[in-house]
Amino acid sequence: MSDKERGIHKLYATDPIEADDLVWGRKSDPVTRRGFIKGSGLAAMSAAVGASIPLAHLMPGGLIPAALAQSDQGFRIPGKEGLIVLNDRPVNAETPAHLLDDRVTPAKHLFVRNNGTPPAIANIDPDQWTLEFGGESVEQTMSFTVAELKERFKQYTYQLQLECGGNGRNEFVPPASGNQWSVGAIGCPEWTGVRLKDVLDVIGIKSDAVYVAYYGADVHLSGDPTKVPISRGIPVYKALEDETLIAWAMNGEDIPHMNGYPLRLVCAGWPGSVAGKWLNKIVVRNQIHDGPKMTGTSYRVPCKPVAPGSVVPDDEMCIIESMPVKSLITFPRSGIQHAAGQHLAIRGHAWAGDLDVTDVYVSIDFGSTWQKAGLEAPANRFAWQHWKAEIEFPEAGYYEIWARATDSAGRSQPMVLPGWNPKGYLNNACHRIAVQVA
C-alpha cells in the first residue's frame, strides 16, 4: 500500500516527521521539531480540523492535531454519529445497517466517501460560492452563485438514494483493493436544489454534446493544487433527467461539510462518484469525459464475465452506469436474541439503480424457501423503497434472515456473490443478519 493510501495514524506511528511532509507538506526541523506549513498543506490541515489555524507556524512537528487524535474516542467525523471509519486519508466511513432504519436518512448517518481533502469550511461563504459552466459543447460559458441559482431557477426537493460503487467490496474473493465497505455505503436523504437540465437549458448545449462532467474544490491528497482528485461525468441523457439536481440542502438544512457543502450534484441510481461534491465547475463535453477516476479501471467492470483473480486489460473494462438491484435489513440489528414462539417483525429498504423494485422476499432457511414481504412504492423516482415482513421460527436455535429484491426488469439479487471484478464493484448479494432464538 502506498503512503498516499495509508491513514494518518498509521503514517505517524511509522515516522512522524516524514508523516508531516506526506500529509501536510510540512518540513520539520528534527531538533526543534518546528515546521513550516502554508498554502495547500495548511488548507488541508484546516479542513481536517474544521477551522483555520492562526498559530500553525508554532505547531510542533510530528504531531497529529488533537482534533484528529481523540485517544479516548478514536477518529471522529464532525456531524456524524455511529459511522465506521475505513480510512482517514481521505476520509471514508460507512453506516452500520441498523443505523439506516430511518425512512429518510439523517445527515448524521449518511456515509462519507471522499477522494481528496475537502475545502476548509471556515473559507466557505455559501451565498458567494460560484459554479462555473463551460466545456467544448456549451453555447456560452456562464457562472452562478448559489444565491443566483436559488433566485433564478425553480427549486425541487426529492428523496434520492446515493450509493458508493464499491459498497459490499469486502465480500469479494479474492479480495479487491480499495475501501473495504460492507453494506453501509448507501443512504437516501431528501435533497433540495435546482434541476441541472434547467440551468443547461439557459446556457445552451450544442448538438455534439456527449457527456456532462464536474469539478470540485477538494484538494488532491498530495497537496498539489494542479492535481485534481476526481472529476467524473455522465451521458447527456442522464444529466437531463428531472431528478439530477444541483443541490445545496439535505433534509431541509445545509449539506454536511463532508458530504459536499455548500453545493453538490445528486445523480441517483448511478455510482455516488458521479455526484460531485464541493461543486464549482460543470463542463459539457463532446466526448466521454476523461477526468481523473474516469479512465483505466476506475469505476469500471469487465465488459464480459471473467474468472476470479483475472487480470483484465483496460480496454476490456466498461464504465459503470445504473447500479444493480439491492436490499438491506435495517431492523432488527444482527445478532439479537428472540424468544421462541413469538413472531419477529423485520423491515428494511430496497433500490434498483435506474429501475424500480417490484418484489422483496425474505428467507430463514439459507435461501431454500422464500416469503414475500410487503413493499411500498417509492416516494419519488430514485428513492429507495421500504419493505416489511413478519417471521416465525420453527424452533430454538441459530438462524439467518436473508433479504432478496427483484427489479422491474426481472433481475434478482444473487444469494451469495455476483460476478467477480478486479476493483470490487457492484456487490449486490443478499443481505443477511443473525438471530438467536431462545
Is residue 89 in some structural domain?
no
At residue 18, the pLDDT reads 67
The three cell numbers locating residue 167: 459498497
Is residue 137 in some structural domain?
yes
**For cell 431528501, what's the residue?**
190
Residues 8 and 124 in one domain: no
Distance, in Å, from the CA atom of 217 to the CA atom of 261, rounded to the nearest integer, reads 10
At residue 78, the pLDDT reads 87
At residue 38, the pLDDT reads 62
Region of residue 163 (left: phi > 0; alpha: psi -120 to 50; beta: else)? beta
Residues 358 and 304 in one domain: no
Residues 112 and 205 in one domain: yes
Is residue 238 in some structural domain?
yes
* Residue 427 CB-half CA count within 13 A: 28
For the chain, the domain total comes to: 3
Residues 124 and 224 in one domain: yes
**For cell 461543486, what's the residue?**
279
Instruction: Identify the domain containing residue 128 by its residue range.
Output: 107-319
Is residue 50 in some structural domain?
yes
Is residue 33 in some structural domain?
yes
List residues bridging with 91 in a β-sheet: 88
Is residue 83 in some structural domain?
no
Residues 171 and 231 in one domain: yes
Q: What is the pTM of this model?
A: 0.84
Residues 20 and 133 in one domain: no
Residues 150 and 129 in one domain: yes
What are the φ and ψ backbone dihedral angles of 373, each rounded to 5 degrees?
A: -95, 160
At residue 63, the pLDDT reads 62
At residue 9, the pLDDT reads 57
Residues 253 and 124 in one domain: yes
Q: Which of 319, 353, 371 represents a domain boundary (last residue)? A: 319
* Stretch (H or E) spanning 430: none
Check which CATH number belongs to the domain holding 125 and give it.
3.90.420.10
Check which CATH number belongs to the domain holding 427 and give it.
2.60.40.650
Residues 303 and 201 in one domain: yes
Given a contact cutoff of 8 angstroms between Cβ atoms, the answer to whether 37 and 25 are in contact is: yes
Q: Which of 303, 319, 335 represents a domain boundary (last residue)? A: 319
Residues 272 and 187 in one domain: yes
Residues 159 and 197 in one domain: yes
Split the chain (438 residues) into runs of 10 and give each run's mean pLDDT.
Answer: 47 63 62 56 67 66 59 67 89 96 98 95 92 98 97 98 97 91 97 98 98 97 93 98 98 97 98 98 98 95 94 95 98 95 96 98 95 98 98 94 98 91 96 94
Q: Which of 270, 295, 319 represents a domain boundary (last residue)? A: 319
> Angle at the Cα of 412 (from 411 to 413), degrees rounded to 5?
135
Is residue 101 in some structural domain?
no
At residue 89, the pLDDT reads 81
Given a contact cutoff of 8 angstroms between Cβ atoms, the answer to whether 246 and 265 are in contact is: yes
Find the length of the chain: 438
Distance, in Å, from the CA atom of 121 to the CA atom of 126, rounded to the nearest integer, reads 10
Is residue 286 in some structural domain?
yes
Residues 170 and 313 in one domain: yes
At residue 77, the pLDDT reads 87
Give me the sign of the Cα torsion angle 126, 130, 133, 139. positive
Helix/strand/coil percent split, the chain, to 5: 20, 30, 50
Distance, in Å, from the CA atom of 148 to the CA atom of 235, rounded to the nearest integer, reads 26
Distance, in Å, from the CA atom of 367 to the CA atom of 155, rounded to the nearest integer, reads 45
